[in-house]
Amino acid sequence: MLVSLPLVLLVAAFAGLGLSRLLPVSPPQDTASPAGPDPLAALPASLRRMLTNPEPVMPARLTLTFTGRPADLCDQLNALGMTNSGWRGAPLMMGRYQCASELITLTTPSVDYGPSTLFFLLRGRQDDRIDYLRLKLVVDDPAHKPVGVDAVELVIGALSDRYGWAVPNVFWRAVAEFEPLELIDRGVRLSVAPEDPDLTGDPKADRRLNIVLDFSEPDLIRPADTFLKAPPFDPDWTVTVPPGPAAE
C-alpha cells in the first residue's frame, strides 16, 4: 500500500519534535556582567557601616497631626448644642489657644439622682492646630449612661470626622463600660480613667469618667546631638561663575 509523501513528512516532523523534548536541555549561560567597584569604598568605615545598616539610626513613628481650622470645629460643636467659648487665646497662657465648653447638662435631675453632665476642653500650641482634648463625664444615674456616652461620641466623632481619624474600637468600648484604658494609636495617647472610690472616699466616684486625647509632637528624624557643627564662615570664600550667556 502506497503512502503519500505529505503524510510521511508529517510523521517525521512529529517524531523529531518528540525526540527534541527527550534530549537534555543545557542550562543558560550566566551572562551577568562582573560587579563594578564599590561606590562607598572611599568613605570611612564607620560611615559605610551606618549607610549599609538595615536598621535606621532613629526610626520615627507616623504621628497624626490635627491641623486646619479648630475654630470651625468649635463652631460645629456649638451648633450641636455643646455650648463653648469658641477657639481663642487661652487665659493666663501665652502662646496657647483653647475652646472650653460650659458644664453641659445632659439629663434632668430626679429625686434620687443628680443630672448627667459633660465638660470638654480643646487646646493647641498654634492657632491652626489641636494638641489636646479633655472630657469629663458625670453620670449620677447609671440608667443614663448611654446618654452620656452618646455625648462623648458626639464630641470626639466631630473631631475624628473632620480630620479623617478612625478612633480605635477598644477606646469606644472602654468609654461605654467606664473601664480604664491607656492606649497609643499612631502617636495619639488615649486615656480613659474612671475615678476611684477608694482614693476619693466617694462611693459614687466611679460614675465620673475622665477622658484625655493627647496629640503629641512628631518624633525627630535624627537626635539633635548627632548633627555636626558647620565650619566657621570664610568671608573670602567666593563662587566663580563660568563665562556664558548667564554671566553677561
- Note the pLDDT of residue 42: 85
- Note the pLDDT of residue 108: 93
- Note the pLDDT of residue 93: 79
Beta bridge partners of 130: 66
- Note the pLDDT of residue 206: 92
- Note the pLDDT of residue 30: 60
Angle ∠(220,224,230) on CA atoms, nearest 5: 130
Per the CB < 8 A criterion, the answer to whether 71 and 79 are in contact is no
Burial of 190 (0-12, 13-18, 19+ CB in 10 A): buried
- Note the pLDDT of residue 164: 80
Per the CB < 8 A criterion, the answer to whether 122 and 111 are in contact is no
State whether the Cα torsion 219-221-223-227 is positive or negative: negative
Question: Nine-digit cell at 87?
Answer: 477657639
Largest CA distance in the chain: 118
- What is the full per-residue pLDDT of the chain (248 aa) written as tens digits? 444 555 544 455 555 545 455 455 566 666 667 777 888 888 888 888 878 887 766 655 555 666 668 899 999 999 989 999 999 998 887 888 999 999 999 999 999 999 999 999 999 888 888 889 999 999 999 999 999 999 999 999 998 888 788 899 999 999 999 999 999 988 889 999 999 998 888 888 999 999 999 986 655 555 555 556 666 767 776 656 666 655 44
Question: Nine-digit cell at 185?
Answer: 494609636
- Note the pLDDT of residue 58: 61
DSSP annotation of 129 reads E
Per the CB < 8 A criterion, the answer to whether 153 and 169 are in contact is no
- Note the pLDDT of residue 229: 65
Separation of alpha carbons 15 and 131, rounded Å: 80
